[in-house]
Chains A and B, each alone.
Chain A
Amino acid sequence: MANKVIGEMGLPKSIGNIFAARNIITAKDALSLTEFELMELLDVDLAEVMCAVALISEIASPPYQTVQSLLEQRMQNEYLTGHLPTHLKGLDAALSGGIPFGALTELVGPAGIGKSQFCLKISLLATLPSCYGGLDGHVIYIDVESKFSSRRLIEIGLNSFPEIFCLEGMAKEMAGRITVLRPGSLTEFTESLQKIKFSILQQQVKLLVIDSMAALVSGEYEQGPPRQHPLGWHISLVKSLAEFSRIPVVMTNQVRSRSTSEISQYSFQAESRVGVIEDTANFDSHLVAALGIHWAHAVTIRLVLESRSGQRFIKVAKSPMSPPLAFPFEVTSSGILLLNDDGVEMTGPQINAIDHQGHSDIICHRDER
């Protein structure tokens, strides 16, 4: 929309030529200048400029829909009104059906907790035929840290859906629908995103998994002027891809330890700041999600995976649909399994905290794979 060419908008000839003569070709060029600047640049009076800008704005604005028609459209066209079920009953109920289409879902947690396992399981689920609750489509898996293991994928498949995978050639077909990309740097990732844009429309891709976003940024050395946010453009692109083609996008994020100067207060909350700073004893065991607050705003659903006293939890930390619930889970040979489908409701900002106490116990002792 922003790149619509002014010449094709049906402006009166005289003013259309003036725009072109001053090298204002697209709607973006015209709307990036205020009306007074345009008046100076084009040498026409204000009334004409305002008329032209109004016409350009009308054509460049996005179309509208009533929310009712959006709902009807989704109920008719999409599987389960736009959700990919994860086969974890409690989580699916909390997310009203599963991972939503057209939105970014983030998985954040300390290393080894089970984020990549979740991604493997969900990729498999997307390839299954719809009679088994899948999307019957292709999956693009962007594997930055080389955590994708085909052997584990087949193992999950054999253990969760033995009736499909024992059939001749099914394993090959299901695994064959998952395309794995391994970009080595942020620039390679940018290139692969461009390529993905085209193939998503052609090749029936039904799910995009990026594992992990944080690894792309941490490996880069910032050169030149510091940009507002290194992944800003990528976040926008992935979001628009997800929405335009109505597919779910799952991304994983790393954690970093919380520094003592971690801010969480506004200036008008000055009185309570003293109490917060003295709480440093808790800081060592508390982690925060990497990639910062801008990223936290950009994702639609955030699932926090953590471990507390030897038990792993998956928490729905940010979701427009569900209350803040925490489910205990474990990693088994068939992927992730919820131990309790009802979940514990957590109040307050605790839902966002990431704990990793007792984490090493899980890795050493529980080795069911």
Chain B
Amino acid sequence: MEVLRLPLSASQKGRLISAGYTSIASLSSISPSQLALELKISETEVLEILKIVSDGSRLESPGSSCTIVHGSQNAWDMLQEEKTLVRITTSCADLDDILGGGISCKEVTEIGGVPGIGKTQLGIQLAVNVQIPSDYGGLGGKAIYIDTEGSFMVERALQIAEACSADMVEYSCLYRKGSQACEVKRQPKDFLENIFYFRVCSYTEQIALVNYLEKFITEHKDVKVVIVDSVTFHFRQDFDDMALRTRLLSGMALKLMKLARKFSVAVVLLNQVTTKYSDGSFHLALALGDSWSHASTNRIILHWNGNERYAYIDKSPSLKSASAPYSVTAKGIRNSASNNKRIKHT
């Protein structure tokens, strides 16, 4: 019954079905006034219903250009588009390598790890790196940082911004000739000016903010990365109804994916860990359960391996499963120190 699938209110659907209109085709050749008489509702209501019906049927008629279904894209166009997208560097060459260049826009990337491994550090680093101008190989965009735990430290963001600014000056001195060399174009405070900070205190605010982001990004078109630190915190306590939690989380995940695709932004979700029992033993796993693990496109797990921090790509449709070491220094996320002396094998 096609009429049941239309986004109409239940009572309107009921009237249509009881009057005998079960398919969209049956509504196509009837005049509004006659329908109003049959359904016993006003003509304006009927006109609204017919508008929704025609919107629905337009989606199924063959469209122009090479799309078979309206609103879709073919795979070749997608590939061309992907090639032109710049990725956000993480400032650690090894990590960028396994990510295929960096965090990609248009996708949702989830990063999880034990406390103290460097998730917030990576989040702040990405918020600064997205602002690197395009002539230095970056996106030149702005960042939205959604803080649910209060772990964002302004002084640390300043430190990382200063280091990035110093790196840019060094790069321009080494590689660029002419009068623009060694010119300090970006001050640390310019970096901080372009990070929009939201502090979320409950899961309701988190859901409200994710809903509101669409409007916010439409107004601030330069935003290229949305970082949520952490997406777990408010959903891990105070929830007696687990089924509700799963529904809310999946709704939020879909909205974030839609946001990433529609505005070509990178969505980075930071997650915590919990313990899970499987195969007869306990081990660590990212929080929020099995149904949430489908929410992100890419999944990176940060962990300790001996004395070094490693990033492991747990799930990705296009990247190979690999591990890379990184370190957290006063300047932010950088290559692991011990790696510098190693010869690179391909």
| Chain A interface (Cβ < 8 Å from any Cβ of B) | 1-2, 27-28, 31-32, 34-35, 39-40, 42-47, 53-54, 56-68, 70-71, 74, 81, 96, 100, 102-104, 225, 227-229, 232-233, 235-236, 239-240, 242-243, 261, 263-269, 272, 293-294, 296-300, 302, 317-318, 320-321, 323, 347-352
The interface centre, meaning the residue of B197, B247, B306 with most chain A CB atoms within 10 A of its CB, is B197
A239 touches B149 (CB 8 A): yes
Q: A81 touching B155 by the CB < 8 A rule?
A: yes
Name, among B199, B208, B209, B275, the residue most crowded by chain A CB atoms within 10 Å (CB to CB): B208
- List 23 A-B pairs, Cβ < 8 Å: A1-B202, A45-B12, A46-B7, A47-B52, A62-B198, A62-B209, A65-B197, A66-B192, A67-B145, A67-B192, A70-B154, A74-B154, A104-B150, A228-B238, A232-B236, A236-B202, A243-B150, A265-B284, A267-B285, A293-B115, A321-B156, A348-B307, A349-B304
The complex places the Cα of A225 from the Cα of B204 at a distance, in Å, of: 24
**A66 with B197: CB separation less than 8 A:** yes
Minimum C-beta distance from B224 to chain A (A): 16
In the bound complex, do residue A2 and residue B205 qualify as a contact, i.e. CB atoms below 8 Å apart? yes
Q: Is the CB of B237 within 8 A of A53?
A: no
**What is the CA–CA distance of A243 and B153 in the complex, to the nearest angstrom?**
12
Chain A residue nearest to B118 (CB atoms) is A320
Q: A348 to B274: give the CA distance in the assembly, Å.
A: 20
Chain A residues contacting B196 (CB-CB under 8 Å) are 64-66
Decide if A56 touches B197 in the complex (CB within 8 Å). Answer: no
Asked if B291 is an interface residue, CB under 8 A from chain A, the answer is no
Report whether B284 and A62 are in contact in the complex, using a CB–CB cutoff of 8 Å: no
Nearest CB in chain A: distance from B306 CB, A? 7
Contact A58 B215 (CB under 8 A): yes
Q: Contact partner of B307 among A239, A265, A350, CB < 8 A?
A: A350
Residue of B52, B201, B207 with highest tally of chain A CB at under 10 A: B207
Decide if A321 touches B153 in the complex (CB within 8 Å): yes
Q: Which of B119-158 contact A (CB under 8 A)?
A: 120-121, 144-145, 149-158
The answer to whether B43 has its CB under 8 Å from any CB of chain A is no
Q: Is the CB of B158 within 8 A of A265?
A: no
Chain B 176-212 interface mask (CB, 8 Å, partner A; 1/0): 0000000000000100111111111111110111111
Size of the chain B interface, CB-CB below 8 angstroms: 84
Within 218-232 of B, Cβ neighbours of A (below 8 Å) are at: 230, 232
Chain B binding surface SS class: mixed
Picked from A31, A46, A320, A347, the residue with its CB within 8 Å of the CB of B204 is A31
- Report whether B155 and A45 are in contact in the complex, using a CB–CB cutoff of 8 Å: no
Contact: B192 with A71, CB < 8 Å?
yes
A58 in contact with B304 (CB, 8 Å): no
Q: Nearest Cβ in chain A — how far from B117, in angstroms?
A: 9
Q: Assess whether B244 is interfacial by the CB under 8 Å rule.
A: yes
CB distance A263 to B284 under 8 Å?
yes
Give the docked Cα–Cα distance between A300 and B115 (Å).
9
Taking CB as reference atom, which chain B residue is nearest A26? B204
> Quick one: closest B residue to A236, CB to CB?
B237
Q: Do B149 and A298 touch (CB < 8 A)? A: yes
Interface centre among A71, A81, A296 (most CB of B within 10 A): A71
What are the 7 A-B residue pairs with the smallest beta carbon separation, nearest first?
A232-B237, A348-B307, A57-B211, A46-B7, A2-B204, A60-B208, A68-B192
Q: How many CB-defined contacts (below 8 Å) exist between A and B?
A: 221
Closest chain-B Cβ to A73's Cβ sits at a distance in Å of 9
**Chain B CB within 10 Å, residue with most, of A44, A74, A293, A318:** A293
Residues of chain B touching chain A, judged by Cβ–Cβ distance below 8 Å, are 7-12, 48, 52, 114-116, 120-121, 144-145, 149-158, 189, 192-205, 207-212, 214-216, 230, 232-234, 236-240, 244, 247-248, 251, 272-275, 278-279, 281-285, 301, 303-308, 312, 314, 329-330
Q: Of residues B157, B199, B314, which shows the largest number of chain A Cβ atoms within 10 Å of its Cβ?
A: B199
Separation of A76 and B151 alpha carbons in the complex (Å): 21
Bound: A233/B236 CA distance, A: 10
Q: Smallest distance from the beta carbon of B143 to chain A beta carbons, Å?
A: 9
Q: How far is A185 from B239 in the complex, measured between Cα atoms in Å?
A: 23
Which A residues are in CB contact (< 8 Å) with B189?
A: 68, 71
User: In the assembly, what is the distance between CA of A276 and CA of B303, in Å?
Assistant: 15
Closest beta carbon of chain A to B47's beta carbon, Å: 13
Tell me the complex Cα distance, A38–B35, Å: 27
| Chain B residues, CB < 8 A from A352 | 116
Bound Cα distance A240, B244 (Å) = 24
CA distance A347 to B327 in the complex (A): 10
Could you say which of A44, A266, A317 contacts B116, with CB atoms under 8 Å apart?
Answer: A317
Return chain A residues, CB-CB under 8 Å to B157.
Answer: 67
Residue in A96, A100, A264 with the greatest tally of chain B CB atoms within 10 Å: A264
User: Given that A56-B208, A261-B282 are contacting pairs, would A243 and B215 also be in contact in the complex, using a CB cutoff of 8 Å?
Assistant: no
Q: CA A38 – CA B259 in complex, angstroms?
A: 22
Smallest CB separation, B175 vs chain A (Å): 29
- Which residues in B have their C-beta under 8 angstroms from that of A65? 196-197
**Nearest CB on A from B56, distance (A):** 11
Instruction: List the A residue with the shortest CB-CB distance to B204.
Output: A2
Q: Which chain A residues lie closer than 8 Å to B199 at the CB level?
A: 62, 243
Instruction: Determine if A266 and B303 form an interchain contact, defined as CB atoms under 8 angstroms apart.
Output: yes
**Could you tell me if B233 and A347 are in contact, using CB atoms closer than 8 angstroms?**
no
Distance in angstroms from B301 CB to nearest chain A CB is 6
Q: Given the known A-B contacts A27-B208, A71-B192, A321-B155, are A32 and B248 also in contact in the complex, defined by CB atoms under 8 Å?
A: yes
Specify which chain B residues have a CB less than 8 angstroms from the CB of A96 in the assembled complex.
155
- Of A54, A225, A233, which is within 8 A of B237 by CB? A233
Residue contact B9 to A43, C-beta cutoff 8 Å: yes
Residues of B within 8 A of A297 (CB): 115, 149, 230, 232-233, 272-273
A102 to B199: give the CA distance in the assembly, Å. Answer: 12
Residues of chain A within 8 A (CB-CB) of B48 are: 45
A31-B207 in contact (CB<8A): yes
A103 CA to B150 CA in the complex, in Å? 7
A239 to B147, CA, bound (A): 12
